[in-house]
Amino acid sequence: MTNFTTKTAKLNRNLLLMGLLGVTLAAAQAETNKRIITIQGGPRGDLRNGPLTFSGNPVKATVSTLQIQATQAVLAAPAGTPLIEAKGKRTANFTGSVQVTRGRLSAKGTALAYSEASGQGVLNGNASATFQPASKEDGDTVSITAGQMSLDVDNNVSTSTGNVGLSNGTQTGKAAKLIFDEDRELAQLTGSPSLTRAAKGTQKALVMTGQEVRVLTKAKTLYVRGSVKLVQGTLTTTGDAVFYDDKKNVAYVVGNAVSVDSKSKVTVKAPASGYLEQRTDLARVRGLNSAYKIPAEQFKLRGE
């Protein structure tokens, strides 16, 4: 009886493992299928082994939710593998006035290199993109410029590198790298990032720098952390982190927060257990003797 029970338990365990393996393989296959690219038109080249060259006015292609247009496209398989057997491992290179759309995102450049294996499409040559708000009430168009822009087909995320510029209404940013999540309308800037809020009326321009800047583009709120500095007119405020609400014209600076007015020579320091509140519309800073918790969870990226 004991042997029968043991064998039954082992069989059940093996069946469970096989079931889990089947689910894993199915998920992997679904992910691979999502990355398969389809290019329209009649190609030239070796139909069996490739590469195949597509040309048109324009060439059109689809991969997952990405729509691609270009002057020319070349589809290739790894050496020694027929094209039809290489699905999931092929590459597609687009050249000449490349345009990419996905939902509310539109991007363009002079070349796009796509890999089915990685699910990444890398846009080069004066790469730029715009992200339209869902409605006029949802804020401003987000514009991005960069040396290179990588679009991930597994999720609605783009990664831009090289002299990156960000524009969102009166806010403009600069950085070495920008990650933009289209679903959350969240941007992360790293690599000597800075963000400027343009002057308006009597309100002077505000420049914020730190080790990292995160922006909720629809809400117009910012989270800056790491050696933070805010410069507005003659006011310079420093601290460990800041939460800024553009619509309310207020910044909350925490962690060793100090503000100095170079004109009046007035210095305001946050109490040991408190923080500084800076009204950017009034050019006024005050120290508050209570704890302030930055809502950092609102600015979390995928996987954090």
How confident is residue 13, by pLDDT bands cut at 50, 70 and 90? low
What is this structure's pTM? 0.86
Query: Rounded to whole angstroms, how far apart are CA atoms 254 and 225?
Result: 10
Q: What pLDDT is stored for residue 64 in this prediction?
A: 94
Q: What is the pLDDT of residues 135-184, one digit of tens each?
A: 888 889 999 999 999 999 999 999 999 999 999 999 999 999 999 999 99
Q: What is the pLDDT of residues 193-213, one digit of tens each?
A: 999 999 988 889 999 999 999
For 92, the token pair is: 């597609």
Q: What pLDDT is stored for residue 7 in this prediction?
A: 57
Q: What is the 3-state composition of the chain as percent helix, strand, coil, each rounded to the nearest 5?
A: 15, 55, 35
Amino acid identity at 70 = A
Mean pLDDT of 72-88: 95
**Confidence check: pLDDT of 35 > 70:** yes
Q: What is the pLDDT of residues 212-245, one digit of tens each?
A: 999 999 999 999 999 999 999 999 999 999 999 9
For 283, the token pair is: 């050019």
Query: Rounded to whole angstroms, how far apart are CA atoms 277 and 176?
Result: 29
